[in-house]
Structure 1
């Protein structure tokens, strides 16, 4: 006798119901994803994305010394419903990608040039490793995986420019940068809450709004 036991399967996005579902970004409707154009009008160019081939030009005066080129469904409509997306990061020496998270996706960082200090912090309620930092130097040709939803960062400690191609298992991974989320929200978060939470005076809050 066979006993069937249902096992949960976790995916970032729902499974598509057809081969492709190219987003029609001209429509004003909102779905869990985007409305699609008629599949019979698809052409091969829909499935080619050229936006990641060139490194970003980053000024030495850039506050973070880094740039991110996104290939989410809104930038590459062919990704709509497919459960994947890409990001290219370019960082000059000492450049950083500020602490942030993707609430909808796990991220795989593949370093293509230079080397980066990459890390994430485990959730505070993880009894096995509360608030534990997992971080290290990752060189060109190596990869680093960041579990879904965890706060993470990248920093170029090297003397040459660094770059990565990042893979995420959602066509819309979501991005929440902590400095931007907390210190540049509109309308603003009550300054009294921020000064108490971070143990700083009110004059320091503007310095923490990096974006």
Structure 2
């Protein structure tokens, strides 16, 4: 929205059909606060465990119209419409340029690509499965 330029905030609207998702993503430069306008949404984010680098804790909640949920800056999060009708979420960010990094696309559709060996070991998959994921996300 041009009227928000230089104010340090931005807005987004997500319209989700039933059983559709805003995929795992992060905003590296902003905290996001969502308000549910319509429908029922399952929202969550992952908080890395400081004691164990390889684990994280999921914070999630089923949200209904009027509910608000906050995704802290830089944390991986998602929205999923668990209802039987369209859901609408309105997001606000404390940055005019929050960034938007979709995790699966960033990993499996990078240019140049990440080595199949690295991805196979990192995700404990075989190279055929990695090839299938590259097709889906590129």
Could you state the TM-score of these two structures normalised by the residue count of structure 1? 0.60
Which residue of the partner structure matches residue 6 of structure 2? 81
Question: Structure 1 residues 126, 105: closer, same or farther in 2, change over 3 A?
Answer: farther
Structure 1, unpaired ranges of 5+: 1-75
Cα deviation digits, residues 57-110 of structure 1 (max 9, x gap): xxxxxxxxxxxxxxxxxxx33333211001110111110111111010000011
Which residue of the partner structure matches residue 210 of structure 1? 137
Cα deviation digits, residues 160-182 of structure 1 (max 9, x gap): 11111100000000111110110
Higher helix share: 2
1:180 aligns with 2:68: no
Higher strand share: 2
RMSD: 1.6
Question: Structure 1 residues 126, 146: closer, same or farther in 2, change over 3 A?
Answer: farther
Between the two structures, name the one with larger relative contact order (CA 8 Å, sep ≥ 6): 2
Which residue of the partner structure matches residue 151 of structure 1? 76
Cα distance, 1:126 vs structure 2: 6.6
Could you state the TM-score of these two structures normalised by the residue count of structure 2? 0.90
SS in 2 for 1:170: coil
Matches within 5 A, 1:117-196: 117-125=42-50, 131-196=56-121
